[in-house]
Amino acid sequence: MVRGPVFTHVLLADEINRAPAKTQSALLEVMQEYQVTLEGGRCRCRSRSWCWRRRIRSRPKATYPLPEAQLDRFLFKVEIGYPSSAEEVAVVMRVTANQAGNDLPLAAVKPCLDAAGVASLQRLAAEQRVDEQVVDYAVRIVRATRDHAAVAVGSGSRGALALVRGARAAALLDGRGYATPDDIKRIALPALRHRIALAPDALLEGRTANDVLSEIIGAVAAPRV
């Protein structure tokens, strides 16, 4: 068996919505079961793999819709817009100055972590204390997405898991040993924007998932801990 690109610690699936349904199904198996099925046999992947995806903006005919089950397995959806004019000029200058078209200025790129370091950070994040009231706050936000008039399909339980896990990571980045309601708010949009579907009326009004989620977060009372 030839091991493909999913047998790694970090996987970048570029332009994933160009992949056909069978490819996306295989990726879903890796993300959820940490295994690959080939000709009736199963081969385990590294259990601490990270999967990054980049979804392109394109005409519907050129892409395939990502199934809800697959979207739900991604911890965050980070939206990256266009760079500023100055940033774009800097990018073009860096890539084109004294370089051929197939050259990239990567000489200054240095590794910051190895696989063991990443695993250590994951363990540290898992050890951050989360009060039951903070967990309850995360669950109430997720449950509120299911009852909001502008939401056709609310977040499932994985949304609450993403909120708590993301809050732990945010606490670690801030040098704290505990997560707060503000940490939940801080990561609520990236953790939930891909886990809800807006109602037709909300879409006609031009509302976005960020708009609706911000409204929901503002309406759910945060605990004082």
| pLDDT tens, N- to C-terminus, the chain (225 residues) | 667 777 777 777 777 777 777 777 777 777 777 777 777 777 777 655 566 666 655 555 566 667 777 788 888 998 888 899 999 999 888 888 877 777 777 777 888 888 888 888 889 999 999 999 999 999 999 999 999 999 999 999 999 999 999 999 999 999 999 999 999 999 999 999 999 999 999 999 999 999 999 999 999 999 987
**Is 22 a member of any domain?**
yes
The CA-CA-CA angle for residues 154, 199, 202, to 5°, reads: 120
* Local structure of 199: helix, strand or coil: coil
Tell whether 85 is covered by a domain: no
Q: Do 119 and 210 belong to one domain? A: yes
Report the C-alpha gap between 79 and 212 in whole angstroms. 16
Range of the domain at 54: 10-71
Which residues is 51 bridged to in the sheet?
Answer: 11
Residue 31 has what pLDDT? 76
Domain count, the chain: 2
Alpha-carbon gap, residue 44 to 126, rounded angstroms: 23
Q: Are residues 132 and 52 in the same domain?
A: no
CATH number reported for the structural domain that contains residue 189 in this entry:
1.10.8.80
Out of 71, 88, 104, a domain closes at 71
CATH number, domain containing residue 62: 3.40.50.300
Task: Based on the fold, state whether residues 47 and 122 are members of the same structural domain.
Answer: no
- Are 58 and 121 in the same domain? no
Do the domain assignments include residue 190? yes
* Three-class SS state of 91: helix
Question: Which of 65, 89, 70 is CA-nearest to residue 31?
Answer: 70
Domain-embedded: residue 51: yes
CB 192 within 8 A of CB 77: no
> Beta strands 41-44 and 151-153: pairing type?
unpaired
Q: Based on the domain organization, do 127 and 204 belong to the same domain? A: yes
On whether residue 213 sits in a domain, the answer given is yes
For residues 30-66, one letter each, b for 16 or more C-beta atoms within 10 angstroms of the residue's C-beta and e for the rest, the string is: bbeeeebeeeeeeeebeeeeebebebeeeeeeebeeb
Do residues 121 and 66 both lie within one domain? no
Residues 205 and 139 placed together within one structural domain of the fold: yes
- Encode pLDDT of 183-205 as tens digits: 999 999 999 999 999 999 999 99
DSSP class of residue 84 equals P
| One domain for residues 127 and 215 | yes
Give the separation between CA 66 and CA 19, rounded to whole angstroms.
9
Condensed to tens digits (0 to 9), the pLDDT of residues 105-137 reads 777 788 888 888 888 888 999 999 999 999 999
Residue 119 has a pLDDT of: 84
55 and 127 co-located in one domain = no
Q: Are strands 41-44 and 50-54 parallel, antiparallel or unpaired?
A: unpaired
As given in the structure block, the two tokens for residue 31 are: 């993300």
What is d(CA 141, CA 223) in angstroms, rounded to the nearest whole number?
A: 12
Q: Please indicate, yes or no, if residue 14 is contained in any of the structural domains.
A: yes
Does residue 104 fall inside a structural domain?
no
Residue 41 lies in a domain: yes
Q: Per DSSP, what are the bridge partners of residue 153?
A: 197
